[in-house]
Amino acid sequence: MMIQVAEIVGLILFATVKFLFAPSAIMALGYSFWETIAMSLFGGWLGVVFFYYTGSAFFGWLSGFGKKNKPKRKFSKKNRFVIWLKNGFGLNGIAIILGVGSIPLVCLLAAKYFRSDRRTIFYLLTSVAVWGVSLTSLSFLFKGYLLELL
């Protein structure tokens, strides 16, 4: 009983950081479709809430430093890429790449550039729900095909 609880907690924590692979890993361990969805969503939502609010607090705290005599910013390739990403894709684009990207990285980007938008956390949580159901469905759909390959 205790080992199964530890396994479930470990899978939920795995889903907080490696969301793309979590449904397949949970399914491979023999959990049902609905158990896989529940663990994937709970882990993804836990990761979004933790990393988004931690990132928001950190970037808010960081913005208080260096206000005096700040040198003029120069545009580098990195700065241009970030501006292109933010302006070209916006909050919707960040939410869409959440499923295939890393939850910590995507949530930190959202916290950095969209923390003043009240819709941000809702978009991120909704994205996890859509991706969680989609990835779990794909995992179970291809389960038979994958077992035949092994």
Q: Contact, 56 vs 25, CB < 8 A?
A: no
Classify each residue of 108-140 as buried b or exposed e, where b means 16 or more C-beta atoms within 10 Å of its C-beta: bbbbebbbeeeebbebbbebbeebbeebbeebb
The three-state secondary structure class of 136 is helix
Distances, alpha carbon 87 to alpha carbons 25, 105, 116, in Å? 35, 18, 15
Q: Contact, 102 vs 44, CB < 8 A?
A: no
Higher pLDDT, 24 or 68: 24
pTM, two decimals, is 0.81
User: With pLDDT > 90 as the criterion, what percentage of the chain qualifies?
Assistant: 49
pLDDT in tens, 68-122: 666 666 778 777 777 777 788 788 888 888 777 789 988 988 898 888 889 999 9
The whole-number pLDDT of residue 11 equals 94
The residue whose two tokens read 């663990």 is 39
Domain boundaries, the chain: 2-67+89-149
